[in-house]
Structure 1
Amino acid sequence: MNGGGGRLTARGLVRRFGGVTAVDQVSLRVVPGRITALTGPNGAGKSTLFDCLSGAQRPDAGRILLSGRDITRLPEHRRARLGLARTFQQIAVFPRLSVAENLRVGAEQAGRRRPAEAGSAVERTLALLGLAGVRDRPAWALPSGTLRLVELGRALAADPGVLLLDEPAAGLDRAETRRFMLLLRALADDGLAVLLVEHDHALVDRLADAVLVMEDGRARRLPGADGRPDGGA
């Protein structure tokens, strides 16, 4: 499904707002086939770090590499075309577009110029996420659990190598959370590199291969949930 082989590396990232250092010398690696969780209290700097990685903000210092290429100064759409996709804490879909049209936005963001290529990506993603039955329904008419899948589908339709997920299980019930976990594990096992911000410690314990805890802008590594090494920073 995904491009596979993506690797996201951050080295010594710093982001300041006035006299406040929101991200303070953070280094990390997100590698293919593994799920890295980023957790910590509110105000720890997780969202700011995520925005720096995705391109929504530019760090004041440090470097960001995507599969060895320096993307520190690239805007979001350039990073997307190089294989970096993200979702948002607040569900971000186009409410008046159908499910299939939302996914097509993601496919076209990947730089596909041939309609057939974008269409194939949409069909594969609809099938993968079990959304074929609602493909023509407008997003505004769907429940939040389904909208989470639509947003994920828009990211996956771009065939990313690296996927950033910002609290993807927020608002999901127990069954939806379990389905999401199985799906995310399968995507990682297929070669996708995943970084997720998540407050649900039970979900992190069951899903993550490596855990980074942020506090006061700094990050420290914990052992992976399955005991495997996390690859370092």
Structure 2
Amino acid sequence: MAPLLRLQTVSKSYGSLVVTNKLDLELHPREALGVIGPNGAGKSTMFNLITGDVRPDAGRIFFGETDVTAMPPHERCRRGIGRSYQIPHPFTNMTVFENLLVGACYGTGRSEAQVTDDCAEILERTGLLPKANMPAGKLSLLERKRLELARALATQPKALLLDEIAGGLTEAECQELVATIRAIHAAGTAIIWIEHVVHALLSVVERLVVINFGAKLDEGDPQTVFNSPQVQEIYMGISAE
């Protein structure tokens, strides 16, 4: 099966600091791909390269058969690349429903009338329908994370990028969110999920990639990769000897 998303020897540096080093990565249709690595490994930069917030110094990025390397972020979004951010930043003075309308209209190019029913359905899927008319600034952390997820879904993504969406949640809240993500994936959306809450990640993803110093260290079956001595040493600080 042809990849839905492909990074081909992508590199990015800031002066002498190499943050992405000849990175190759593939996401297939309907796949759930997990990405782990120590802080500063270049994981969020990888997302910024995929969405177009950052341009690579070398290499190419393909979405389907299209080379999107030079394509601006809004065009990539409308082609089907959606993203949640590690720290939610909703429009705090707007309601939850209005936040979703903004994402849907600007992310898909459709009118408010065309997206209203879809937004209501997404609020139900993400557990936010009872909060639809609440100002987003009054939401709890879990609810803000759900809104971040809902806004990404409102852009109708074929590939959904999740950046540490489980961070800062209690175990019970994390399990609630994992159930929602699992349902989104089961409905057919391909996912790339960067996460430090590894047990949550491993309960969803089908393949795991490890990034260190901007380069791919390992990939494959999630449990096998995570338990490898090299990954345990670099990611967990456990000596391989």
TM-score using structure 1 length: 0.90
Question: Which string of whole-angstrom CA distances, capped at 9 and with x for unpartnered residues, describes residues 36-72 of structure 1?
Answer: 1111111111111111111110001111111221111
Query: Which amino acid is 1:13 matched to?
Result: V
Query: Which amino acid is 2:115 matched to?
Result: A
Give the corresponding residue for 1:56: 53
**Residue 32 of structure 1, CA deviation:** 2.1
**Residue 9 of structure 1, CA deviation:** 1.0
Give the corresponding residue for 1:125: 122
Counterpart of 2:189 (choices 169, 188, 192) is 192
1:179-218 map, 5 Å: 179-218=176-215
**Residue 204 of structure 1, CA deviation:** 2.3
Query: Does 2:174 align with 1:177?
Result: yes
Does the Cα contact within 8 Å between 1:6 and 1:83 map onto a contact in 2? no
Q: Which has the larger radius of gyration?
A: 2
**Residue 117 of structure 1, CA deviation:** 1.6
**Residue 220 of structure 1, CA deviation:** 2.8
Question: Which string of whole-angstrom CA distances, capped at 9 and with x for unpartnered residues, describes residues 4-31 of structure 1?
Answer: x981111110001111211001011112
Query: Which protein, 1 or 2, shows the higher relative CO under an 8 Å CA cutoff with sep ≥ 6?
Result: 1
Give the corresponding residue for 1:110: 107
Structure 2: which 5+ residue stretches go unaligned?
225-241
**Residue 226 of structure 1, CA deviation:** 7.1
Structure 1: which 5+ residue stretches go unaligned?
228-233
Q: C-alpha root-mean-square deviation of aligned residues, in Å?
A: 1.7
1:31-180 map, 5 Å: 31-180=28-177
Q: For 2:197 and 2:110, how far apart are their aligned partners in 1?
A: 39
Does the Cα contact within 8 Å between 2:104 and 2:110 map onto a contact in 1? no
Give the corresponding residue for 1:8: 5
Give the corresponding residue for 1:230: none
% same residue: 32
Q: For 2:89 and 2:70, how far apart are their aligned partners in 1?
A: 24
TM-score using structure 2 length: 0.88
Secondary structure of the corresponding residue to residue 160 of structure 2: strand
Tell which deviates more after alignment, 13-22 or 114-123: 114-123
Q: For 2:206 and 2:171, how far apart are their aligned partners in 1?
A: 21
Q: For 2:65 and 2:100, how far apart are their aligned partners in 1?
A: 28
